[in-house]
Structure 1
């Protein structure tokens, strides 16, 4: 039975080959490649973060968007031997991001928090 990694690699290879073959057919026929979709950056787009800091297990760390900005998304990272990110979610008011974790065998854990903000 192939491993998950082998299956994913095979799928990526087939997908890449299909994309290259399709691009080659379009070029050979003189067709123009489809236009790339426009990237829309919301007004006031900004990523803010709290760098890694050790806190007691399960203690929430919260990063807030500056000024009147609201959070569009975010995430967290638990660092340390056996560290586990337990939660990563927006603040109830939509103005920031919360992350918390734990580290097996220790009383504290390193937690970083990130928020994607916009007006």
Structure 2
């Protein structure tokens, strides 16, 4: 079932904000232990954490070789919904041909193919929240 344009835009905005917040948090967390500052980093880290949706979690389905066009699904925990996701096709001549939410909104699907082979490595990432 296709998403309505307004819902699709809202989800895209939420996912972009969540990913930006995660990148910021990782950058702050990787600062040298002897770094000093005026406390701005601590305030930024606190505001970044509060910007994430409640129950934010990334579920990773690691790479596995599967037949071309076979779907792989990363599922959110039972009490969470998917708010975004993605996939990766791995291997020579690998192409990701699909990356989309499950029809019930509980997981993320990815599938791919290789032009010179019968199998492709597929990894799937589901961004979940309450």
1:102 aligns with 2:126: no
- 1:90 to partner: Cα distance: 0.3
Cα distance in 2 for partners of 1:49, 1:92 equals 19
Give the TM-score normalised by the residue count of structure 1: 0.67
Larger radius of gyration: 1
Q: How many residues align?
A: 84
Whether 2:92 is the aligned partner of 1:67: answer: no
* Ranges of 4+ aligned residues in structure 1 off by more than 2 Å: none
Give unpaired runs (5+ residues) of structure 2. 1-43
Match of 1:51 in 2: 62
Please state which structure has a larger fraction of its residues in helix: 2
Q: CA deviation at 1:67?
A: 1.7
Alpha-carbon offset, residue 104 of structure 1: 1.0
Distance 1:67 1:60 in 2: 21
